[in-house]
Chain A
Amino acid sequence: MNRIIILPVLLPFATAVLMLLFPRRIATHRLLSLLSGVLLLAVSSLMLWSVLDGGILSLQAGGWAAPFGITMVADTLSCTMLTMASLIGLTTTIYSIGSINPKEEHNLYHPLIQLLLMGISGAFLTGDVFNLYVWFEVMLISSFVLLVLEGRPEQLEGAIKYVMLNLLSSAIFLAAVGLLYGMAGTLNMADLAVRLPLLHHPELLSVVAMLFLITFGIKAAVFPLFFWLPASYHTPPIAVSAILAGLLTKVGVYAIMRFFTTIFILPETDFIYQILLWVSALTMATGVLGAVAQYDIRKLLSFHIISQIGYMIFAVAIHSPLAIAGGLVFIVHNIIAKTNLFYLSGIMRQLTGSWDLRQMGGLYARYPLLSLLFLLPALALAGIPPLSGFWAKLTVILAGIEAEQWPVVAVALFVSLLTLFSMIKIWNEAFWKDDPREEAHRDSGRHLHELSSREKIAMAAPVVLLGLLTVLSGLWFEPLFVIANRAALELLDPSLYIKAVRGGMP
């Protein structure tokens, strides 16, 4: 059973290689993508089930015992994240069949998405710090190429900022890895958790922890380091925006969660939580204030990603079992709702011919069903019961109240209001108000009946699926919370993780 861990990495890789053998056959690419997406979702769900059933899985690559070889570990947190990643991978594949320009599909779009998924799966599953660096790079280089696939000026400009800041973050990551190895003599996460408390001179650890915080902070787009995100996420094709928005920043959050609950839990690194606390408040506030000012729907949603990251960081800053569980529930809810909103903005653009909210209008009158599908993720994001976002926010804020962090709790509640405000802004502008275009110029968008049935189904199916998941995970919140709670307990008591990796080694 342990060998299954390699599959989520191997499957997208094999698919990508197979597709490269048929570079010009789009139909084959689509079929292989769908097949691999379904298989990946099945494998990751199976892994989640087996971890919940039988405890943490681990694999020593090449049979080299930890800490000498590369370790891959699947605990509840990684498997949950992996399941979400494969779900978003599959829905994005379906969505892009209807929305991506066929010219880009020729340009190796599908293999790149598979390689992106491979990097993300690897980052979630690895148990080795240097290996995490490698997976980050795999993920980044695929996202670089996806960003500039069409080569339009604004894409190149956005990509410059994205590439530069991410290269900087990689250089910092590498330096931190080097210093950590120099101090501890190991890079295996479980081994680090054992050895770091035994160091004779742990003073430098605070520097190393800070370096890791900065590099993951850039990837997760937290407060002073987020500027690359709103500069680039609105430029690529909407399917690419959606998968990047749904998954990439969450990998950074995952790394912060993993490092500051399993590895850096020493007196020397305690100050990190205080930093995280204030960073989280500022991230929530700046993100949502940026969003309120925007009229381009993709930019508005991009700023919302930042604001929502703040809640996840808040959960890590408190690091009580309830907070970590809440943080994980929040990540799951956010991945589903946020990706769905990006999918929906693509559909709105198809129907109105514009990304600018001021030029949209009258969608509610023409497409009431679409309006309902928009309301599900939008209200979930704002935290309206009984949708998933309500429970996620409730858990995080309850944990904040338990920890008596009143100022940040107040910020979180206020930001929630502003989130609702900006969702209502989209609703008012795009759905509620009259269509601002004169009857004569209405040809800028396309009517529903002008879309081919392939486009309609491919774009609607992911939206319906993710919308259903938002509702269902709100109505049946308990199973999700039980999984998250278990992940939190595993993270805060690393002994199980250590035992799974190192076996009986002292």
Chain B
Amino acid sequence: MTTLLAIIIGVLYAAGIYLILRRSMVRVIFGLILLGHAANLMIFTVGRLTKGSPAFVPEGAESIITRPFADPLPQALILTAIVIGFGVQAFAIVLFRRTYQTLKTGDLDEMRNTDRLPEKLP
């Protein structure tokens, strides 16, 4: 299971990095989303995968759990990260749409105006 997830994470990172290097705005946002997912899955995987052993103390038990149990913290982290990522990505998509409407282009290579030195004065 860990190997499978590791391969998936690798593929997600590769695809994400490939996409953010493209010139089209839409591909870039997809790339960023993939990178976010890859990071989330990575937190999940490096938090150790323990199957079928929730972190609950059985009813009536006297002591704390001694067997290995699934760590709930990575899941809490991912949940927070997903919510934040969702909000930020939603904002980014709206921003990209608005930019496309205003500048009439989705090509990042054409967005160089703020980097250029202003033209010489007439």
Residue numbers of A with Cβ under 8 A of B are 130, 133-134, 137, 140-141, 144-145, 148, 151, 153-154, 156-161, 163-164, 167-168, 170-172, 174-175, 177-179, 181-183, 227, 230-232, 234-235, 293-296, 356, 358-359
Contacts and interface: CB of A to CB of B under 8 A. Distances in A.
Interface string B82-122: 00110111011001101100110000100101110110010
A227 B108 CA distance: 14
20 contacts: A130-B77, A137-B88, A141-B87, A157-B99, A159-B95, A160-B25, A160-B99, A160-B108, A160-B111, A168-B32, A170-B36, A171-B16, A172-B39, A174-B39, A181-B46, A181-B47, A182-B43, A182-B48, A227-B115, A294-B117
Contacts of A181: 43, 46-47, 73-74, 77
A178 B43 contact: yes
A212 to B, nearest CB: 14
Nearest to A296: B118
A230 to B, nearest CB: 7
A134 B47 contact: no
Contact of A156 (B35, B43, B48, B98): B98
A144 B90 CA distance: 12
B103 A293 contact: no
A163 B90 CA distance: 12
B42 interface: yes
Given A154-B113, A181-B74, A231-B115, A140 B99 contact: no
Nearest to B32: A167
B95 A156 contact: yes
A140 B89 CA distance: 12
A160 B29 CA distance: 10
A227 B99 CA distance: 19
A156 B92 CA distance: 11
B10 to A, nearest CB: 12
A164 B77 CA distance: 23
Contact of A174 (B16, B43, B95): B43
Nearest to B73: A181
The 5 closest A-B pairs by CB, nearest first: A182-B46, A178-B43, A174-B39, A171-B35, A156-B99
A438 to B, nearest CB: 13
Contacts of A137: 84, 88
Contact of B39 (A153, A158, A175): A175
Given A151-B102, A153-B103, A235-B114, A174 B32 contact: no
Given A130-B77, A141-B88, A174 B102 contact: no
B74 to A, nearest CB: 7
